[in-house]
Structure 1
Amino acid sequence: MEPFTSKYKIIDDSIIELRNKDICIKYITKYVDDIFAIVKTKDVEEILKIFNQQHTKVQFTLEKEIDNKIAFLDIEIHKSENKLKTNWYTNSVASSRMINFNSNYPWALKKNTAINFITKVYSLSDPEFIEDNRAKIKNIVFKNAYPSGVIETLITTAINKMKCNNNITINKNNTKTYTGVAYIPNLTDNKTLGKIIKNNNICYAHKPHNTIRNIYTKSKGKINNEQLHNVVYEISCKGNEGESCNKIYIGTTKRALGTRINEHKLDAKNKKNTTALAQHLATNNHTADFANARILDVENRTRKRMTLEGLRIQQNICKAMNYKEDVDNISCAYATAITHNV
């Protein structure tokens, strides 16, 4: 199995190798799986070759500029007179869907969705493309059932909002509380809530009634504790018929908890001294409450899980039956920083 290599490391290693070959990348930026770079035309194929040599399972494809323009994410970059201009870009299969004007959402939400869309288009577009994009905006918003007069108002509002953005000052001393409110016409609309909520430090936003979580049932059942991996667990001692016992055993396992408990059961049955639990049960003729084993922590990282085990033992030092060496390197000062997950 080949070791995992991040794309950032692949890019860094490729750039170093390219520099050694006197190939210069004038500009490069990355977003998720997309990379935009400015290079000399004669170096393109060699750059692609070096990028694809770094890892056999990470291979790049190439898209060159056509007619002095190329798309990257939501923008189309134009090269004109040794300058770069940007234009809002959307591919031919884009659905152009947004919250429909006739949908049962508060007007504030529909309005802000449209304004944010308009603001995005304007902010990504060079002045030379504004008029063409204005027509595209009108067409898309109209397809979502917004009346023509409303569309013009939304465009004007978006433009004015962009002009005012630089003049907005934020008072950092105001502590605001944010909450979500289900939208019910004439009950939780802005006008009604404005009369009820008089505190300016309480901000609310409407949220829909129906969500995917409400529509669909859970496809998976809850995982049984015994199926969980990478856990710190606790097993109590039940004593015997004539003697109660309040001792507990704290352990950790990378495997399924049920597998580790079965091993404890087998050790107890055969009266082995493989663990402090098995030794305690064999010496005192006690029985353990395996059926009610409790998970204290879930942690995938081995070293951190081992530390948590030591802290849990230290936290219960008066009744833990674990060996002394289990907490030799654990300071009791840290035990108060964790709590039981009941």
Structure 2
Amino acid sequence: MCHLENKVLQNPELRPFTYCRYVDDIFVEVRSESHLMELQQAMESSVLKFTYELNLHNKIPFLDILISSEDDQYQTTVYRKKTDIGRCLNAASECPQRYKLSVIRAYLRRAFRNCSSWTLFHQELSGIMQILSNNGYSNTVQGEDEELEASTVEEWSVVVPPGQCPIPQLNAGDHLDGRPGNENATTPNLQP
């Protein structure tokens, strides 16, 4: 696949504005649908076949991220399929407390990693709290090991300098790994 990418993407006529691949999922931002067709045709010059999905209302899912484009900026948040019914390890299950805490940590880590603004992060936290509540979790951590509870709080205590936000903003044309698409792109400072 890398050989094919190197061959096709060196052509300036075919090169998309944004190209990100994870295993067999590819996110591209192109000029038009005809540009996408040309890119698909060039990529299919090998034995590989590609399918595509166009954005709907300027939103498209990529892996576990919902990417929306507004005012030449990307906004990202957690994506859940329509078939997701919000089930996770139940709080009343016969599992060690550390597994239950791992469920909470995983949800928080995913929200922190995927949400591009504090507003979206807090919206996702509301959804996480509802999912956890539906699965029997309470608002407090109850367990035999208070040190485990204290380490969890310390792990998620994030020091954010005033006026700074650790969540990167992406502008249209930027790479999804945070590299700017052009030298004039900046990351705005957000208030937490």
Aligned pair partner of 2:107 in 96, 110, 117? 117
Q: How big is the alpha-carbon RMSD for the aligned residues of Structure 1 and Structure 2?
A: 2.8
| Aligned residue in 1 for 2:40 | 48
Summarize the alignment of residues 146-225 of structure 1 with structure 2, pairs less than 5 Å apart: 146-150=137-141, 161=156, 163-164=158-159
* Letter in structure 1 aligned against 2:14: I
Cα pair distance change 1:164/1:128, threshold 3 Å: closer
Summarize the alignment of residues 1-342 of structure 1 with structure 2, pairs less than 5 Å apart: 7-16=1-10, 18-19=11-12, 22-41=13-32, 42-55=34-47, 58-125=48-115, 126-150=117-141, 161=156, 163-164=158-159
Please give the alpha-carbon distance, in whole angstroms, between the structure 1 residues aligned to 2:37 and 2:6: 18
| Ranges in structure 1 where 5+ consecutive residues have no aligned partner | 1-6, 167-342
Note the alpha carbon deviations across 1:156-198, whole angstroms, 9 max, x for none.
x6797151599xxxxxxxxxxxxxxxxxxxxxxxxxxxxxxxx
* Letter in structure 2 aligned against 1:44: L
Please give the alpha-carbon distance, in whole angstroms, between the structure 2 residues aligned to 1:104 and 1:27: 46
Please give the alpha-carbon distance, in whole angstroms, between the structure 1 residues aligned to 2:108 and 2:27: 25
TM superposition score normalised by structure 2: 0.67
The Cα shift of 1:50 comes to 1.3
Cα pair distance change 1:159/1:28, threshold 3 Å: farther
**SS of residue paired to 2:69:** strand
In terms of fraction of residues, the more helix-rich structure is 1
Task: Identify which of structures 1 and 2 has the higher relative contact order when contacts are C-alpha pairs closer than 8 Å and 6+ apart.
Answer: 2
Note the alpha carbon deviations across 1:249-288, whole angstroms, 9 max, x for none.
xxxxxxxxxxxxxxxxxxxxxxxxxxxxxxxxxxxxxxxx
**SS of residue paired to 1:77:** strand
TM superposition score normalised by structure 1: 0.40
| Ranges in structure 2 where 5+ consecutive residues have no aligned partner | 143-148, 162-192
* Paired-residue identity, %: 21
**SS of residue paired to 2:158:** helix
* Letter in structure 2 aligned against 1:12: N
Query: Alignment length, in residue pairs?
Result: 151
The Cα shift of 1:109 comes to 2.5
**SS of residue paired to 2:44:** helix
Pair member with larger Rg: 1
Please give the alpha-carbon distance, in whole angstroms, between the structure 2 residues aligned to 1:135 and 1:150: 17
